[in-house]
Structure 1
Amino acid sequence: MHQVIASPQGEKFVIARPGARKGMQIPHAMHRELSDVVVSGQPVPGWLADAARQAWGLELAGRPASGNVLVRPLTPLNYSRATWEINKGCNFNCEHCYLAERKFEGLPREEKDRLLLMLRDAGVLWLQFTGGEPTIDRDFAHSYRQAFELGMLIEILTNGSRLHRPETIELLSSMPPHKVTISLYGASAESFDSLTRKPGAHNLLMKGLRAAKEAGISLELALIVTKHNAHEVTAMRKIAEEYATTYTEYANISPTYDGSPEPLAAQAPGFLDKSTVFKGCPAGHAFFHVDPHGFATMCKIGRENPISLMAEGLDGLMRLPAIADAQMLRSGGCSGCKLSATCRVCRPLAKAYQEAKAPLNTYCQHGNGDDAA
């Protein structure tokens, strides 16, 4: 099994190690050299052995390059990231979920394999498994192994409910992910189970956190602040500090991606995130999203004009940048805003809020909107 990955990344070339945050940038000539030594069966070059020892404490000196170094080729599309909604099905029923529906359906295993090959050939190095809840998909473990063996650095976006299972711990220990991000919906069973509408959900999450810590699996926690748990933010932070390498707080609740307002009822008053000014996004150009049926869109929210990868193949992705650019145009209630230069909400998300007829104070960082429209 490969120890390091050499891959194009946009206009650069990088070397990464599965499960490690540190990486290194190399010139194109070194990438070509690694490809040559792998094909010819030569040992790992000295410069890479020295760099791996310094960066990761990994000893590659004298070892064959083939089997230890996976070299990913240049691709015409040169996308670097993708998110894959392997299945919308979920074992929770969260009040704030942005998915319009949570149907448990998707591609058969053989088509999932074909999709992953296309993602590899599109240049995708960073792949996020999401859902729904990805770990409950019957093909999750198989697809995870497939993506890992294809040389992708994997993030799992999960509710943590299956993390305690021995087979999950074994998978993540033997094929380390780049990141496991777990959503924390409260510090107590009362608040957690109330938001997820799943009795016992908090207990499952805590079992998973303890199992991952014992196995040495690095975690990130996403603290989801809502009306159910706003009084527990301090306690949620303590959980994150005990079990996670790092954590991030999220308080802005969005409508569903097709503009239904139901999730907004979970938002905690007074916790609107004053995030950075939105200055554009490379969605559709550097990365893209794929739904359970193999349809590619610019991102999880901007789902207009989906492209069927299963029918069109990679040629379909050639149309995605123009589709993404069209969705970035200011529209609807924001078209005449005098403060648009300091807006913090991306265009597809703003459109979803507007279609949901959401009050401005649920998403607009300009306050009550008196100076906006």
Structure 2
Amino acid sequence: MDTLANMDKFEARLCEKSSLNNIPISGAIELLPLCNMDCEMCYIRLTKEQVDLGGGLKSADEWIEIAKQMKNAGTLFVLLTGGEPFLYKDFDKVYNALRNMGIIVTINTNGTLINEKVADMLSENKPRRVNITLYGASNETYARLCKNSKGFDQTINAIKLLKERDIDVKMNVSVVEENKMDVPKIIEISGELGVPVSIDTYMFPKTKGVRDEFKYNSRMTPQEVANLDIAISYNTQTQEEFMQSRIEFLSKYEWAKKTEKPKEIPMLCRAGRSSFWIDWKGNMSPCVFLEDIKMNIFENGFAKCWDYIIEESSKLFMPKDCVSCDKRQVCQVCIASVYCENGNLEKSPKYLCNLTDEKINLLR
């Protein structure tokens, strides 16, 4: 998960320079793991009892102090997320403190708690963007997937409230078995509202250590994902754009087959080089999916934790099977997905191997 998604050219350039110099320019703060919905595929949500057993939530003042340390270390962009961040009782205090420090804030939310009061608060000190996850195209889908029979109406209302106040909004969609049939309607809704949509078809298998196992039956098969990915591209691009992307994909594949294989592939994303993740307890990790590499900022301070994250992230390398694979240039595999799929970095993840094979076959 990139803590600064959909960057413009200026932001991308800043992040590129920061990665070269190990400056923590962007990060995410998970204010709480609580949510007002209970989605089948969620890997974060805990109960209030589990939170209390884990030491309880940090106060707004504690997060603001950490934000000051982050700013001093070079952090410019922060993602506030959860759980559902608007459940955090002092969200407005934390949010406005960060904005008043000059930090550019993005918010991840399910949107169901955004009312006139929340929208007005945000409009007074606007965020970079509000990313709203849309879980389906009807209240029926929300009831089935999220246990919220009014969720669709609440989310659409939130999007309209933010747009009325000229706040930048983007819809994110996590596609699983329960909502895959809603995708065409979701794309239609995106056009009607004039809001860009990002559709994520790959679900990381992660449990946060509180559930017996990831609900593998919630995510689609690799073959279904490949078919849906290509169908989305075909139906959201012009014929010329689709054919161009198809040619580029297959060309990358053919090029990788003919070129010399590298000896090793380190972690290529910004995690642990210019971005970080901090969970609700204060544990800093390279990203949300690599929580085995962690150090607590409330106990050790931001600077010490960041140095530790840099060092440990530099030790992570892709499995040898991935390094020598002819499909490496067109596969969406990363260090985090390998770890989540296998529990280690020793072998390539079969799920993503099958997904890439299917895409190649379909595009051919």
User: TM-score of the superposition, structure 1-length normalised?
Assistant: 0.71
Cα deviation, residue 98, structure 1: 2.4
In the TM superposition, residue 266 of structure 1 has moved relative to its aligned partner by 1.8
The Cα offsets for residues 145-183 of structure 1, whole Å up to 9 and x where unpaired, read as 0110111111101100112x2221111110111011111
Determine which structure has greater relative contact order: mean sequence separation of CA pairs < 8 Å that are 6+ residues apart, divided by chain length.
Answer: 2
Which amino acid in 1 is paired with 2:339? K
1:84 aligned to 29, 36, 44, which one?
A: 29
* Larger helix percent: 2
Output the CA distance in 2 between the equivalents of 1:358 and 1:170.
48
SS of 2:355's equivalent in the other structure is coil
Alignment of 1:258-277 (within 5 A): 258=208, 261-269=213-221, 270-272=224-226, 273=229
CA contact (8 A) 1:100 1:257 kept: no
CA distance in 1, matches of 2:353, 2:96: 39
Is 1:319–2:308 an aligned residue pair? yes
Return closer, same or farther for 1:321/1:135 CA change in 2, 3 Å cut-off.
same
Instruction: Tell me, yes or no, if structure 1 residue 341 matches structure 2 residue 341.
Output: no
Q: Secondary structure at the match of 2:272?
A: coil
2 CA distance for matches of 1:162 and 1:131?
13
The corresponding residue for 2:168 is: 218
User: Cα distance, 1:327 vs. partner?
Assistant: 3.5
Provide structure 1 residue ranges, at least 5 long, that are not aligned to the other structure: 1-19, 27-75, 369-373
Instruction: State the match for 2:296 in structure 1.
Output: 308
CA distance in 1, matches of 2:186, 2:147: 19
CA contact (8 A) 2:277 2:286 kept: yes
> CA 1:152 to 1:183, structure 2 compared with 1: closer, same or farther past 3 Å?
same
Shift of 1:23: 6.0
What does 1:120-269 align with in structure 2 at a 5 Å threshold? 120-163=71-114, 165-256=115-206, 258=208, 261-269=213-221
> Is contact 2:108–2:130 with CA below 8 Å preserved after alignment?
yes
Distance 1:262 1:305, change over 3 A: closer
What do residues 191-239 of structure 1 show as CA deviations (whole Å, max 9, x unaligned)?
1221112232222212212222333322100122222222221110121
Deviates more, 1:98-107 or 1:118-127: 98-107
Structure-2 change in CA distance of 1:315 and 1:158 (3 Å):
same
**Deviation (angstroms), 1:359:** 8.5
Query: Larger % of strand: which?
Result: 1
Partner residue of 1:54?
A: none
One-letter code of the match for 1:233?
Answer: V
Q: What RMSD in Å do the two structures reach over aligned CA positions?
A: 3.4
Which residue number corresponds to residue 62 of structure 1?
none
Question: What number of residue pairs does the alignment pair up?
Answer: 298
Larger Rg: 1 or 2? 1
Which segment is superposed worse, 196-205 or 183-192? 196-205
What are structure 2's unaligned runs of at least 5 residues?
1-6, 14-20, 231-244, 253-264, 359-364
Distance in 2 of aligned mates of 1:295 and 1:77: 19
Displacement of 1:363 in angstroms is 6.8
Letter of the 1:84 counterpart: I
Partner of 1:283, secondary structure, is coil
d(CA) in 1 for partners of 2:57, 2:121: 22
* Structure 2 partner of 1:365: 355
Offset from partner CA, 1:26-82 (integer Å, 9 cap, x none): 9xxxxxxxxxxxxxxxxxxxxxxxxxxxxxxxxxxxxxxxxxxxxxxxxx9631100
Map residues 27-176 of structure 1 onto 2, 5 A cutoff. 78-99=23-44, 101=46, 103-104=50-51, 105-163=56-114, 165-176=115-126
TM-score by length of 2: 0.72
